[in-house]
Amino acid sequence: MEIFVLKSDEVAAITRGTHGNPHHILGMHQCLNDCYVNAYLPRATAAFVLRINEETGEPILKYPMTEIGSQGFFTVKIEDSGAFAYKLITEGEQAAEFYDPYSFGYSVDPVNVMKVVNGDDGILSDFHVKDLFGARQITLDGVQGVSFCMNMPGATRVSVVGDFNGWDGRVNPMRRIDYTDMFELFIPGDLMNTRYKFEALYRDGNTDIFADPYAEVYEVAPGNASVLAKLEYSWSDSSYMKKRGSVSAPVNIYEVHMPTWKRNSDGYPLNYLEFGKEAAMYVKNMGYNYIQFMPLMEYRDDNGWGYDTVGMFAPTSRFGSPTEFMAMVDHFHSKGIGVIMDMVSVRDVDCISYWIDTYHLDGVRLEDEELIRALRTNLGTAGDDVMTDLRWNNEAVSRVTDFMMIPPVNRGSFTDYTCGIPFDEKDDTVWALSHDEVAYERGSYASKMSGGYEDKYADLRLLFGLTMSLPGRKLTFMGQELGGFAGFDGRTQIDWSVLEFDANSYFQKYIKELNKLYDTKNALCGDGRDLAGSALDIQEKGQVISFVRHGLDVADDVYIVCNFGLKNVTGYKLPVETDGKYREIFSSDNLKYGGEGNNNKGYEIAADGVIEVSAPALSFAVFAHVK
């Protein structure tokens, strides 16, 4: 036996927007031999219940509803009737005919609900967040619509608000799932391309309106509503995607904060399409083979550099639509440039997998080892060609940089200063000359170097050459390849005008050719032959160090010499592992890079396992065996 009583306090709770269990009063309810239909329709001047054929949807009979008071609450008692299929019809501001959201049962899978209740939704579980939370287009009881679900501890009422209900939190309150803090509601109809948010009322009386953190699309900033949309894009990077995991390639990354890389003629940041065209050309020309974005998941505040993520499944709308983001990635791939996203602000494996699959990412930056393992498990063999472990070797980079910041006369021993850093030829961590190291008062790498103008740039060339030749993958933050003195503040565009000065244009050319060296020498990118021991054997004499990086063959080996002092060193005995003829193939002291021109010319013949070379002051040089 079913009993229903229309109570005034419940009606008042609905009209005030405080009712925490709307299905208890809204929708159809049996009472003995009769049934009631109740609806809250504040924008209607009149409302009707339309009985329909459950199979065909054809109308059968129309029942007028009565408004209680003037608050938009409508009801009708239908005598001698059991439950039946129906729609609501409204007249007034928005006349419409629609299925009643409160006539449907639960729109979520109870198995997924219980995974959350039992704590089986961790990063190592098989729980998929988008199978439950957010907004999902589904068909329920033969009717198409959208299932909304959120987990809201502390909330007494949660509603869906949007263009479809006048942003009125009283219209579509959600049902609390029994024994949980989860709220759900099925809203029938076509809600595509409409904006929506969630509104929560808490026990303390405060109300919060927020966008869907699981949405795939957001409205154009400065608005921040979620948008229900279907993403459609025709990719043209199939040949790139097939090839990317089949060849071993060096990893040389150009890190960018997209809003401040470059601005258009009106002073605004480039959009996705503009950025893709300009940045792909620049990155390719400079010799980087990957671009890494600081977070572009939808974020709250421009001052947070993208790390204050609010919509982890959606590219920020500040620079265009998700399909325009896809087109940007597609363009980078057409130029042979891989795309990496910094996702350290995300803890959800499903989200990261979604980005890799939907946006064809070639890698993601994560720092949590457990999350990395879970992601690999989630991706399976499909993720073999995706870089999931791009953790930064911050300790090594900081130690080397700090050493270079010491005035040359006080530097002392490089090996002592870097003691404890494992220089392993098979190191695959990222040596990141990153935004972290140049933010705010830290200043640029150029400004960190000591001494006068010429010594600063000599040391800067030495620092970049040394980090490029030591083991590990490489990353350079935007603008540092120009040798400017400004740090990164997240607001100011790169000062491209510094290239008008010889020192900066020389340094940019140096970085370009250093990148080319890294790309063409397999010894430098960790692809060398397997040896009994893979730790670098760093030889040190005075302020000069040397070491060998092993290639696939002895002919591919390269020998590095760095002079950290202010005096030119001649007759330095560089140990080599193969007899024959050697020559210097790269030197930071070359005149074309702004050096003094004291680099080695000609060839040297190995004798007793050494060649004698010059090591100019504050210089980095590379030697190789030649036939």
* Number of domains into which the chain is organized: 4
Asked whether residue 282 falls in the same domain as residue 193, the answer is: no
Asked whether residue 376 falls in the same domain as residue 261, the answer is: yes
d(CA 604, CA 191): 75
Is 495 part of a structural domain of the chain?
Answer: no
Mean pLDDT of 358-367: 97
- For residue 169, give the CATH number of its domain: 2.60.40.10
Asked whether residue 254 falls in the same domain as residue 379, the answer is: yes
Last residue of a domain, one of 332, 351, 383: 383
Asked whether residue 86 falls in the same domain as residue 178, the answer is: no
Is 147 part of a structural domain of the chain?
Answer: yes
Asked whether residue 14 falls in the same domain as residue 129, the answer is: no
Confidence (pLDDT) at 1: 57
Asked whether residue 90 falls in the same domain as residue 115, the answer is: no
Neighbours of 593 (CB within 10 A): 23
Asked whether residue 185 falls in the same domain as residue 284, the answer is: no
Asked whether residue 116 falls in the same domain as residue 222, the answer is: yes
Q: Give the confidence band of 69 by pLDDT, cuts at 50, 70, 90.
A: confident
Its domain, for residue 297, covers 250-383
Is 283 part of a structural domain of the chain?
Answer: yes
220-276 tens-digit pLDDT: 988 899 999 999 999 999 999 999 876 678 999 999 999 999 999 999 999 999 999
Is 447 part of a structural domain of the chain?
Answer: no
Last residue of a domain, one of 68, 100, 132: 100
Is 597 part of a structural domain of the chain?
Answer: yes
Q: Is there a contact between 136 and 109 (Cβ–Cβ < 8 Å)? A: no
Give exposure, 384-406, as e/b (b: 16+ Cβ within 10 Å). eebbbbbbbbbebbebbbebbee
Is 400 part of a structural domain of the chain?
Answer: no
Question: What average pLDDT is seen over the chain?
Answer: 94
Asked whether residue 374 falls in the same domain as residue 258, the answer is: yes
Query: How do beta strands 252-256 and 473-477 pair?
Result: parallel
Is 406 part of a structural domain of the chain?
Answer: no
pLDDT over threshold 80, residue 532: no
d(CA 100, CA 198): 19
The rounded percent of the chain whose pLDDT value lies above 70 is: 99
Mean pLDDT of 106-129: 87
Mean pLDDT of 564-592: 97
Asked whether residue 77 falls in the same domain as residue 147, the answer is: no
Is 50 part of a structural domain of the chain?
Answer: yes
547-569 tens-digit pLDDT: 999 999 888 999 999 999 999 99
d(CA 497, CA 262): 12
Take residue 291 and report the two structure tokens written for it: 């671009």
Asked whether residue 129 falls in the same domain as residue 92, the answer is: no
Asked whether residue 221 falls in the same domain as residue 256, the answer is: no
